[in-house]
Amino acid sequence: MLLGVLGTMLVACGGLMPYIYMAPISHDLTGVVGRYVGVFIAIVGVSGAVGTVLGGRLTDRWGVDRTLLTAFGGVAAAALVLLVVGSIGHGAAPVWLVCLALVLWGCPGGPTSPR
């Protein structure tokens, strides 16, 4: 039981991390301070809600293990995309590209933890 709770806590912390660090993420990726923080938070939230619905449907179709592994892989891939966007953009990435990367983060992050 404790191992399950620990795993859920770690996944929830990872999935909620963009909310906590959205201001520095916004600044580091776009070079703009505070202007897009609310929009970026909304994008992660809405895409997380969509991901939760899709995760439920995939769980019915694929089962829990395959769905969670796919979602975890999606979160890892999204983190890599954010890293690449930050590296290539050098603090001047287009806002639409950051929005797309955050959708890629939020959508697989939705089904990874119970709500």
pLDDT digits (tens, 9 = 90+) for 28-56: 888 888 888 999 999 988 998 999 899 88
Query: How is residue 113 annotated by DSSP?
Result: S
pLDDT of residue 9: 77
Q: Radius of gyration over alpha carbons of the chain, in Å?
A: 15
Predicted local distance difference test score (pLDDT) of residue 82 = 85
Q: How many domains does the chain have?
A: 1
pLDDT at 1: 82
Q: Residue 43 sits in which domain range? A: 2-112
Can you read off the two tokens belonging to residue 106? 């939020």
Question: Does pTM surpass 0.85?
Answer: no
pLDDT given at position 43: 93
- Cα–Cα dist 107/102, whole Å: 8
Which residue from 60, 79, 59 is spatially nearest to 69, judged by alpha carbons? 59
Q: Are 23 and 31 in contact (CB under 8 A)?
A: no
Residue 28 gets the label, from left (phi > 0), alpha (psi -120 to 50) or beta, of alpha
Residue 91 per-residue DSSP state? T
Q: Which residues of the chain have pLDDT under 50?
A: 115
